[in-house]
Amino acid sequence: LQAHFLVESLKHLQTRIDSRNWAEEKYFELKKQNQNLPLEMKKAPANVISNGYLQVSIAKNSFKELSAKLKEFGIGTGNVYPSPMSAQVGAKSLIEGEPLLVTNNRVTYEICTKVTNLPLFPYITDSEIQAVMNALKNI
């Protein structure tokens, strides 16, 4: 049953990716119109094809603070990078020599406390994105 569900889901995968990519572009389009937001939106490098899995921003202050304020507007957020890779249990045994992101690097830790993922999911609507942006403008 699960395999059948996944096979059927694969038929819609590209549509879901396209929907997420559209939403990510919509965020950037609206950001151009609203320069004074409490975060900086990040885009994948030009030579990287995005799958639209998530939207990454860096909060001006902290993820916790921004997330709490957005929650007051009914907007959920996430932080998929809460700590540097070198500090994650699964990565420690694989790091050889001096890691790129050393665990005592306070800059890396500071960035991790600011990573903010705005809502981005298949079939998110224009009005839902607008609600996120309106909430950001009011913070």
Q: In a structure prediction context, what are the per-residue pLDDT tens digits for the chain, which is 139 residues long?
A: 999 999 999 999 999 999 999 999 999 999 999 889 999 999 888 888 877 778 899 999 999 999 999 999 999 999 998 888 777 778 777 776 655 555 556 788 889 999 999 999 999 999 999 999 999 999 9
CB 133 within 8 A of CB 34: yes
What pLDDT was estimated at residue 116?
A: 96
CA distance 54 to 38: 18
Burial track 53-82 (b if 16+ CB lie within 10 A, e otherwise): ebbbbebeeebebbbebbeeeebebbbebe
What's this model's pTM, rounded to 2 decimal places? 0.83
Alpha-carbon radius of gyration of the chain: 17
What residues are paired with 42 via a beta bridge? Answer: 56
